[in-house]
Amino acid sequence: MGLSKHKLTQICKTFNQEPAKQFGNRFAHKRFLSPLGLSLETKPDPSFGMNQNVFSYPEEVTHFKALHFVKYRLRRELNKNPRYITKDLWQCYRLWLSIRNRISVANLPLVRRCIGLTSIHYDYDSLLSEGYLTILDCVNKFDPWRGYRFSTYACNSMFRRFGRVIPQRKIQIDTSRDPDEVRVEDKNDGVSLHAERVRKLLDSSLLKDRELDIISSRFGFNGGQAQTLEKVGIEQKITKERVRQIQASALKKIKLALDKDPLLK
């Protein structure tokens, strides 16, 4: 059947154990599965959710809670039958697979959205493939009881995956440090989500023209090397101390904007 106890154990690792009392109730299957038109006895339709539209937030929570309930049932069946894959165990696995596929299909548009937000210039199909793999991984790890949306969690993970697997150069930016300490790392290190969001902010109208010029020169965003306060002051025809003040003001704006960015929370 292509199914092993090891695989089932890995699936069960990430279910939320806090609401286990709810899962253990004898009517729990009606509470968690009935809203999706499923039951513990019914064989899931192979096409279940294959044409699924994007979820509303209540629909998203309902599906993820059902997924965690099925993981709970999987673990319970594994503990009861540690040596054999029983009929009940196989049924729980099919339910898990069906619900996971439905959630994944509903969130596929999120992959294209994240590709549009990134400044990584790479083969589109490769980014699409990595994005789909990230969605599958995130669906199995997401906890709906934490109160935030799946898209926030998945986008964060997707940007990080793009940075790890796509060969690119990276600029690490820390708004609390002096630009002279910014490092340009080898291309295999990836692109950090933090740097991606900073670049987006610099492309917006967040900073005034002079602030943008100074930040670009100090951090090397103008295509060259990061420049010293003194050199930037000569170019801008202002004192070194005034450059420092404008830089501090601009970095404060960037930091406040990053703190409000839902992808970085």
Q: Is 125 helix (H, G, I), strand (E, B) or coil?
A: helix
Most confident of 65-74, 161-170, 192-201: 65-74
**Which runs of E-coded beta strand occur in 136-234?**
170-171, 184-185
Average pLDDT of the residues in 39-64:
75
The Cα–Cα gap between 264 and 251 comes to 17
Decide yes or no: CATH 3.40.30.10 for domain 170-264: no
Q: How many CB atoms lie within 10 A of CB 241?
A: 10
pTM: 0.58
pLDDT digits (tens, 9 = 90+) for 168-213: 434 334 444 444 444 434 333 334 455 666 767 777 778 888 888 8
pLDDT digits (tens, 9 = 90+) for 234-265: 988 899 889 888 988 888 888 777 777 655 55
Tell me what pLDDT residue 135 has: 92
Q: If you search the block for the tokens 């994240």, which residue do you land on? A: 114
Q: Which phi and psi (to 5°) does residue 159 adopt?
A: -60, -40
The Cα–Cα gap between 114 and 108 comes to 10
**Which runs of E-coded beta strand occur in the chain?**
170-171, 184-185
Task: Give the chain's mean pLDDT.
Answer: 76
- Helix 124-141 × helix 150-165 angle, to 10°: 130
Residues 6+ apart with CB under 8 A from 129: none
> Which is more confidently placed, 204 or 159?
159
Q: How many CB atoms lie within 10 A of CB 118?
A: 21
Could you tell me the residue ranges of all domains in the chain? 1-106, 107-166, 170-264
Tell me what pLDDT residue 251 has: 84
